[in-house]
Amino acid sequence: MDDVSFLDFEPDFSSPRVMGAYDELPLWSAMFGLLLLDEVPLANVATALDVGCGTGFPLIELAERLGAHSHVHGLDPWKAGLARAAEKIAGRATPNVTLHEGSASAMPFPDATFNLIVSNLGVNNFDDRIGAIRECRRVAKPGATLALTTNLRGHMREFYDAFATVLGDDAKLREHVEHRATVESVKSLLTDGGFAVTRVVEKTGTMRFADGSALLNHHFIKLGFLDAWKQIAPERAIFAKLRDALNATAREEGELRLTIPMAYVEAGAV
């Protein structure tokens, strides 16, 4: 079977239809967002900021859990994502949220504004990680908390092992895998940016599929990962071989199970 039509997927990230299907990335973002909500300090927070808030998760949930005595700001450069977040804020009648369009590395806030700054999966996605953390420190009040979640190197290990088997020793694939964060790299990033890391919580999640065909045709996999994979290996024949290899693994093991290492990292402004 050579059908690799999933490779033709080209989403329009400004489309309301795509926005409707995007919420809340239950396959991916929610795992990390729930870890953040389980661990983030909630006491004595008057002003908070969600950096890279996207369509509003965990921004809105955090605002409602903090309650009316707190005000939470969401920052993202993605206009369509913010429009979707605004719809949800209106629909839920959440009063203590304000949205801002802007860059994590050039925030539109005065110095020393926030008691709490959070970012769900932002570290691997900021265009300028160093600049983003520098800006977080600038807008943090003395003693403020920075709390972030990230996926770690080794995520989807079973998928990437199969990809490497199909491609062989490929420099683009190695670079793609190795750009993921490690706990130590995140600690170094935060320390260099003016924060002192106080707590790390590591957790391993899983994503399960019937087989490789189900994985590669899944809407969010196509939305969130496929484009980067195509940049590594644009040949359709490669993806047919990859799908077949994953399907073979699923037949042997009864399913395709992918490992998702996660980390919650908490730091204080120094």
- pLDDT tens-digit map of 21-43: 676 555 688 999 999 999 999 99
- Rounded Cα distance between 14 and 178, Å, is 30
Q: Which two tokens stand for residue 171?
A: 């420099």
Bridge partners, 254 (sequence order): none
- Rounded Cα distance between 47 and 56, Å, is 17
Q: Which two tokens stand for residue 178?
A: 């190795």
- Rounded Cα distance between 125 and 92, Å, is 28
**Stretch 56-79: mean pLDDT, rounded?**
96
Q: Tens digits of per-residue pLDDT, 97-153?
A: 999 999 999 999 999 999 999 999 988 788 899 999 999 999 999 999 999 999 999
Closest residue by Cα to residue 159 from 216, 121, 202: 216
Closest residue by Cα to residue 194 from 264, 149, 130: 130
Q: Which residue has the tokens 């484009």?
A: 227
For residue 16, pLDDT beyond 80? no
- Rounded Cα distance between 150 and 116, Å, is 17
The pLDDT value recorded for residue 26 is 59
Closest residue by Cα to residue 61 from 43, 74, 79, 46: 74
Q: 53: burial class by Cβ within 10 Å (0-12, 13-18, 19+)?
A: buried
Q: Tens digits of per-residue pLDDT, 142-190?
A: 999 999 999 999 999 999 999 999 999 999 999 999 988 999 999 999 9
> How far is it between the farthest Cα atoms of the chain?
60
Residue % of the chain over a pLDDT of 90: 83
**Stretch 239-249: mean pLDDT, rounded?**
97
For residue 1, pLDDT beyond 50? no
Output the average pLDDT for the chain. 93
Q: Domains of the chain by range and CATH?
A: 5-269 (3.40.50.150)
In this structure, what is the dihedral angle of CA atoms 226, 229, 231, 233, given to the nearest 10 degrees? -130
**Stretch 230-234: mean pLDDT, rounded?**
95
**Paired sense of beta strands 256-269 and 195-209, if any:** antiparallel
**Cis previous bond, 58, omega within 30:** yes
**Paired sense of beta strands 71-76 and 97-101, if any:** parallel
Contacts of 23 (CB under 8 A, 6+ apart): 55, 57, 84, 88
The pLDDT value recorded for residue 197 is 98
For residue 9, pLDDT beyond 50? yes
**Stretch 203-226: mean pLDDT, rounded?**
94
Q: Which two tokens stand for residue 40?
A: 């983030």
The pLDDT value recorded for residue 200 is 98
